[in-house]
Structure 1
């Protein structure tokens, strides 16, 4: 029996035990909400270990490949992963969402079957799957005067295109569940745009205006789901000394002011020190990650007073000196830091590793891929963090229950 087969059997058994034991994760009968710096679900604190699989809808648009979505959700659930972030956009080109949205219907339906909630991103900063460049190209084709991709944030025609897309997605009736997306608790949150950047204004003010407008539009259609921006966490001009935590550059976003918009429910950070600090040692990368997490945890807790999600992080196999053990050590260090911050005052309520893939997806590999059925040691690291976060959530729930039943005169 191969290691891959053993791991698959192990994951299947673990999933079965999870689903029939007292540790069973309930399907969300309500919507995840925020209470101060905490997520709550059905009135109780909600913490999660999650993952990114951006490719789900793209692959699901081919019915003969949908088993890959099923396999990933099955293995993720067995590893205790309960939230998945994925794309709800494919603008123009091959298998565009606007022409064949049935793939996303299947993704949401299958996530529901495995008790996994979704964070759905509505657009991309980059040209992959369309994104900002596609929107401004549509504007040019319609005769609109366009100077650069950054006109995505300011041009009225292009902004209307994006609003139309948002409206169509949020109000869609899922053909497999019969539930409108805006009414489906399988969806935890919407994300406005993956990693927004703006070269014409590094202060964050241009992006701020766009976020305010689009966040108001989303909430006018759907005020039940949570909403986040999709920020990497770069600091802008609002608090000058925070720039010391940036990796030596700005990208046109401002973690503080962008997240102060009242329609934004929680904050996010991404971190890729191997890309942002190339040529530096693993120790330097870890030190950067610790400062990055701590500064954003502090600001989310004390200034923004909103929950924080570490929405993207990973270790690339393209790095010199990479090995599975190096990746496992890196992830374990990150997870340990997340757990300690969550334990000592909350605020960081979720994390999502980049990225989980199914078998036979080599054409999608970007160096950060984790195939749970083929990488048992990495799967064990992820599962252990899931167990730790689940135990912490149970502890918080017990404390919460005691406070609820505490007499008012005590």
Structure 2
């Protein structure tokens, strides 16, 4: 009786013949025959907030899901696997303590998140690994497999070396075997609250291979590209076999994450096992806009950003696949991290990007949705250096970045209004 009640309360009641699963038809998403377009958020720490026994903050999670839903945000991109590591800026605790050992509390946090999202008719994109160090990720698998210390860019300052080391992951059989165990653990999980198997839950829109997988560091990444391409094809096929009713995506940044080469981006995604394309947009990280003062070169950087958006939508049109701008963001005014600081440049950036996405969607192009980076909600740091420490509240900025760098806080009314207006405009498209 309790299980049945939990399942009844887990989400909206579907009419006969409806599945609620997101499907791909041509260059668009559909749900039960109707177009599905969205303006969503990155909410990487959702499973952490959902954890029980005082580890998480379920009250905060429920309140923030309500706020997001009220704003029209109905798609969340969430970290579904993290690895314990020795990185200076790694998140703690981790879902996987070592290969094959998982923290049930954090997996229950993911259960709770999915149940609460289902109640609000929201969809989840769950990514299963990370090219970067802040959640352990690929370099931690390399360390486990080789016995070498982690290659920590926050300690060495060597980001090119880190990227090359992280890309070793694709060609290490033992690391791939452990990763597949981790994939099975999440994808084949049965929700401890609702009793619904994840593979039978339409709340899960897509399984994403990783956050920003790259073939290495340009100009030295080409030797890794064949292994990277094979990894995308083989891992996406593995997930499709486990979860045939859910979509698979890579989590790629687009050309900038493909050795700055659009052709390599296309080649890497030339597999029937990937259902749709993703790309990211980081103009201040890529030096198109001034990191310390976004207003200084905003208009020129925005023109470059919009051209990048257009090129990727054109690629998706050519390939006949939907595409999602699954990360984008900009610093607060004057590079501040303070939630009380102004966000005029960021609001201008968000509005311009959303206007272009809406324009292309109205024209029938392949753009299907977006997820801004990132929802910070009620999260605040009390640390003078704004850097996260274990036990601190989570914000949208992961541990290797200052807390407040790209976060959209619950107090950022102007930016949230821009997101909300765009969400409603996307939902209104025929």
The answer to whether structure 1 residue 201 and structure 2 residue 221 are counterparts is yes
Q: Is 1:368 matched with 2:406?
A: yes
Correspondence for 1:298: 314
Name the counterpart of 2:209: 192
The CA distance in 1 between the partners of 2:311 and 2:379, in whole Å, is 39
Give secondary structure in 2 for the equivalent of 1:77: helix
Matched, 1:224 2:230: no
Distance 1:152 1:252, change over 3 A: farther
Q: State whether structure 2 residue 349 is matched by structure 1 residue 311.
A: no
- 1:240 matched residue in structure 2: none
Q: What's the secondary structure of 1:49's corresponding residue?
A: strand
CA RMSD of aligned residues (A): 2.6
Q: Is the 8 A contact 1:313 1:353 kept in 2?
A: yes
2:89 aligned partner = none
Secondary structure, counterpart of 1:110 in structure 2 = helix
Match of 1:270?
Answer: 280
Contact 2:45/2:78, CA 8 A, preserved across alignment: yes
Give 1:367 deviation, angstroms.
1.0
Deviations along 1:87-123, one digit per CA (max 9) or x if unpaired, are 0011125332212211111111111122111000000
Structure 2 residue runs without a partner (length 5+): 1-11, 86-91, 96-101, 150-163, 291-296, 382-387, 389-394, 396-402
Q: Distance in 1 between matches of 2:380 and 2:110?
A: 19
The partner residue of 1:134 within 121, 140, 144 is 140
Q: Which has the higher helix share?
A: 1
Asked whether the equivalents of residues 174 and 181 of structure 1 are also in contact (C-alpha less than 8 Å), the reply is yes
Distance 2:408 2:131 in 1: 24
Going from structure 1 to structure 2, the CA distance change for 1:140 and 1:356 (only over 3 Å counts) comes to same
Asked if structure 2 preserves the Cα contact closer than 8 Å seen for 1:91 and 1:129, the reply is yes
- CA distance in structure 1 between the aligned counterparts of 2:49 and 2:31, rounded to whole angstroms: 30
1:306-385 equivalent positions in 2, closer than 5 A: 306-317=321-332, 320=335, 323-362=342-381, 363=388, 364=395, 365-372=403-410, 374-385=411-422
SS of alignment partner, residue 40 of structure 1: strand
Q: Count how many residue pairs are aligned between Structure 1 and Structure 2.
A: 354
Bigger shift: residues 103-112 or 92-101:
92-101
Question: How far did residue 330 of structure 1 move?
Answer: 1.1
**Conserved? CA contact 1:318–1:367, under 8 Å:** no
The answer to whether 1:170 aligns with 2:170 is: no
Equivalent position to 2:233, from 204, 212, 221: 212
Deviations 1:324-349 (A, max 9, x none): 22221111111100000000123101
TM-score (norm 1): 0.80
Question: CA-to-partner distance for each residue in 1:209-261, whole Å, 9 max, x for gaps?
Answer: 11011011111111110010000001699xxxxxxxxxxx6389932112221
CA contact (8 A) 1:72 1:357 kept: no
Q: Quote the Cα distance in structure 1 between the aligned partners of 2:280 and 2:67.
A: 24
1:60, 1:103 within 8 Å by CA — same for their partners in 2?
yes
Q: 1:62 to 1:178 in 2, by over 3 A?
A: closer
The reply on whether 1:40 has 2:30 as its aligned counterpart is yes
Tell whether 2:59 aligns with 1:77: no
